[in-house]
């Protein structure tokens, strides 16, 4: 199994702001979760919601709104009143990939492993010598794992058959069962299978090795210089949310991820924790869009 996505956790509140807030919060807050229960985004959202509830003195309730690669939840958040009571647990794919990808958007054991390759160079040579033979699974069309694989194809100059699934866990189940040859997956869901010996990790998509799988080289160390696929999470609120509310949420989120219990839980899942300002997140989004736009255009991916 190729490991190519690093989870860099950016938990912040970001919005274009205006006006002044009254006493906040004075009622429960809803955090929309764009992916199904049990996945990495859902797990993170629920852990964060619990800590924010403690810090803010009001319930923060995770509400799964799945579909369209996260667009349904994102659009529902965007349409909500800018009062700080509807938030979105977002990802870099939703923020920087979907706007380019969608034409319409209103916003197994080692011995049984299906590939003999034990390094990225061996994998590339194997694929090139057997064109059209190998497949990879992803969490679905247009997801970060799909794009990570397409960037690998583009940079390595290889061809692979894409098999989209409804989420990362189903693709990992079929990988372990030998139904697909490789998967580009994220640390929280992949590490248990790697540690159990049911799949083999070849490389890691971050700029440096993960403490969780320190024996696994980065793609650059493995010979594919320049390859980096990083996925971050963040919390956003609708544009127009008053500045004092944004500041309160930003401060509470930064405090939440610094809490020993939550911080240790997130790090044990493979996250790197960092909090940013709203302005820093805005810059991050702007930097991600052209990077993934090149991959999407090269791969010819289009979702109506």
Question: At 140, which CATH number?
Answer: 3.40.190.10
**CA 186, CA 213: separation in Å to the nearest integer?**
12
- Are residues 125 and 201 both part of a single domain? yes
**Coil vs helix vs strand at 266:** helix
- Is 72 inside any structural domain? yes
- Are residues 99 and 167 both part of a single domain? no
pTM, two decimals, is 0.59
- Are residues 178 and 92 both part of a single domain? no
Q: Which residue in the block uniquely carries the two structure tokens 């949420």?
A: 249
- Are residues 152 and 85 both part of a single domain? no
- Domain end point (choices 213, 240, 265): 213
The model's pLDDT over 175-219, given as tens digits with 9 standing for 90+, comes to 877 778 888 888 777 888 888 777 788 888 888 888 888 888 889
- Is 224 inside any structural domain? no
- Are residues 189 and 241 both part of a single domain? no
Q: Domain residues for 26?
A: 3-105+230-299
Q: What tokens appear for 133 in the block?
A: 């033979």
Burial label for 214, CB within 10 Å (0-12, 13-18, 19+), is exposed
- Domain count of the fold of the chain: 2
pLDDT at 283: 82
**CA 199, CA 186: separation in Å to the nearest integer?**
13
- Are residues 163 and 139 both part of a single domain? yes
Span 245-255, average pLDDT:
89
- Is 248 inside any structural domain? yes
Span 16-36, average pLDDT:
72
Span 33-38, average pLDDT:
90
Banded pLDDT at 18 (limits 50, 70, 90): very low
Banded pLDDT at 115 (limits 50, 70, 90): low
Q: Helices in the chain by DSSP H: which ranges?
A: 40-56, 71-79, 92, 98-101, 120-129, 144-156, 168-176, 187-196, 243-258, 260-268, 278-299
CATH value at residue 267: 3.40.190.150
């Amino acid at each position: 199994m190729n490991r190519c996505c690093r989870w860099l956790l950016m938990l912040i509140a970001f919005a274009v702001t205006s006006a002044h807030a009254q006493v906040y919060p004075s009622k429960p807050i809803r955090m929309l979760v764009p992916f199904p229960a049990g996945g990495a985004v859902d797990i993170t959202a629920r852990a964060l919601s619990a800590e924010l509830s403690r810090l803010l003195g009001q319930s923060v309730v995770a509400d799964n709104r799945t579909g369209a690669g996260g667009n349904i939840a994102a659009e529902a958040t965007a349409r909500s009143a800018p009062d700080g009571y509807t938030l979105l647990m977002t990802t870099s794919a939703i923020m920087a990939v979907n706007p380019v990808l969608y034409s319409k958007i209103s916003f197994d054991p080692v011995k049984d492993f299906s590939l003999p390759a034990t390094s990225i160079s061996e994998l590339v040579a194997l694929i090139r010598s057997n064109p059209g033979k190998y497949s990879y699974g992803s969490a679905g069309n247009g997801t970060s794992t799909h794009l990570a694989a397409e960037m690998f194809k583009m940079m390595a100059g290889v061809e692979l058959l894409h098999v989209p699934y409804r989420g990362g866990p189903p693709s990992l189940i079929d990988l372990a069962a030998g139904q697909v040859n490789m998967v580009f997956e994220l640390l929280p869901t992949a590490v248990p299978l790697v540690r159990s010996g049911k799949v083999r990790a070849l490389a890691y998509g971050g700029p440096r090795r993960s403490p969780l799988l320190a024996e696994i080289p980065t793609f650059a160390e493995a010979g594919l210089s320049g390859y980096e696929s990083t996925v971050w999470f963040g919390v956003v609120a609708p544009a127009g949310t008053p500045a004092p509310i944004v500041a309160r949420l930003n401060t509470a989120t930064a405090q939440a991820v610094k809490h020993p219990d939550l911080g240790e839980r997130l790090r044990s899942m493979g996250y790197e924790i960092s909090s940013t300002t709203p302005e820093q997140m805005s810059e991050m989004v702007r930097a991600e869009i052209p990077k993934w736009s090149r991959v999407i255009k090269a791969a010819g991916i289009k979702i109506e």
